[in-house]
Amino acid sequence: MKLSDWQIYGVDRTFYDFVVYDKDGHYACFDQEGVFQYFQALMNPSGRALYADRKAAQKLFEKLFENLYPLLQTLNDTTSETVEKNGNKLIYNHIRDFETDNLTFIESDITNLRLPPAKVIRCMNVLIYFKPEIRNRMLMNAGELLDDDGILIAGTNGLGIQSRYCVYRKGSEGPFLDEFAFSLDNLGPIVFMTFFTIHENDPEATLLADLARAIRGDRPFWSDFSNRVDNLLESNGVCKRGSNGYLHFPEVEMPPIDYFNINTLLWRQMAEEGYLDRVVDVLELAGYQAWENSIGDIAIRPAASALNSCNSAVSTTYSMNID
């Protein structure tokens, strides 16, 4: 088992007490008072029907909760409890089902967290929701939880693809920006995550755009790269580049899980064919210090001013600069 000798903590400010699964595997969360919070549907025909009529979906899950709740017996805060009826299921304290000997989930704000200094903090798809001043304050708090020479990894990805992230390392004068990295599939996206932002002037998205511009600026390389991506997308039945320059998708929609599996294999093949190494070479020719990092993503050593809204946090306190 990977990381079996690590002690891992998953921290979130809210874990909903109840999760209801319908017989098709769609689920909804309810708070401690039994109040509906949200539902998550699988990406299949029945799931799309739920999304099409959200009020009806909420009523459906509320009815399931009403029918299943009386079947619960103990409601013990330290363990989970599951009850089932007619293929539907209600789980209390579902988060406990995912804990192991070395994995513990803690419900807490980061400002109230009391743990030993961490060697690694990973924070993905969280800070993007916050404005810069709040984000920097959260990162300063996170920095205080790092051990000497510990690292903080923060950024975004979409279901494990199209990652972009910063790596900060705690030195003698506090954390500093050590690298910015992104996965190869950011250079040929057919979904939105690559440059997705919620607030304007997101520094990571802007830096990624600058790097993409430098890569696309090498016309011989970019022509070869994009043609190869188009070829693989077409041969795998994902989509086809038309004579008008646009991508055209099959009339029969590909299930999302199939797309994600194909995407993983496609970009692994691109890396094996040497395109990742060639991207590193292009960035070096453009003046960046670039390399393939330890997990197989493209990394650069950004200038101190590359992520201004992050770096401003370092000058104000001990602290932390991310995102």
Close Cβ partners of 323 (under 8 Å, ≥ 6 residues apart)? 127, 128, 135, 139, 154, 155, 166, 202, 203, 204, 307, 309, 310
* Mean pLDDT for the stretch of residues 202-231: 95
Q: How far is residue 267's CA from residue 33's CA, in Å, rounded to a whole number?
A: 45
Write the DSSP assignment of 44-72 as a string of letters. Answer: SHHHHHHHHTHHHHHHHHHHHHHHHGGG-
Q: To the nearest whole number, what is the mean pLDDT of the chain?
A: 88
Q: Cα dihedral sign for 64, 65, 67, 68?
A: positive
Residue 130's pLDDT band (cuts 50, 70, 90): confident
Q: How far is residue 41's CA from residue 34's CA, in Å, rounded to a whole number?
A: 20
pLDDT value for 315: 29
pLDDT value for 1: 56
Place of tokens 């009529």: 53
Q: Would you say how long the chain is, in residues? A: 323
Element spanning 179, H or E: strand 174-182
**311-321: per-residue pLDDT in tens?**
433 322 222 32
**220-270: per-residue pLDDT in tens?**
999 999 999 999 999 999 999 999 999 999 988 787 788 888 989 999 999
For Cα atoms 237, 239, 245, give the angle at the middle one, nearest 5 degrees: 150
Helix axes 256-272, 275-285, angle to 10 degrees: 70
Domain positions in the chain are 8-98, 116-316
Strands 103-107 and 8-12: parallel
What number of other Cβ atoms are within 10 A of residue 50's Cβ? 21
Question: Reduced to 3 states, what is the DSSP secondary structure of residue 17?
Answer: coil
Cβ atoms of residues 26 and 42 within 8 Å: yes
pTM, rounded to two decimals: 0.82
**167-192: per-residue pLDDT in tens?**
998 888 778 889 999 999 999 877 77
* Mean pLDDT for the stretch of residues 190-204: 82
